[in-house]
Amino acid sequence: MRFPIDAAYLDSDDIVIKTIQMHRFRLGIPVWRARSVIEAEAGAFARWGLHVGDKVEVRDDEPGDASAG
């Protein structure tokens, strides 16, 4: 990747088991218990208050989203 990102590794229940900030041109190491990964711009998890142990819920669209159809 060309820019730094935050990565959150989630288990099968969508619980955050590890978070890291990955620097440019780096590859992440495997997290064997992880079933999915969420990536965001570097610093996003700090702004969101995302920590190990949090449950993540991903939604397809927000109420009132004009692009939802």
**pLDDT at position 26:** 87
Helix (H) or strand (E) holding 7: strand 5-10
**pLDDT at position 51:** 97
Q: How far apart are CA 27 and CA 17, in angstroms?
A: 18
**pLDDT at position 11:** 97
Q: How far apart are CA 1 and CA 20, in angstroms?
A: 15
3-state secondary structure of 49: coil
Of the candidates 29, 31, 2, the one whose C-alpha atom is nearest the C-alpha of residue 17 is 31
Segments making up each domain of the chain, as ranges: 5-48
Q: How far apart are CA 7 and CA 27, in angstroms?
A: 11
Residues of the chain with pLDDT under 50: none
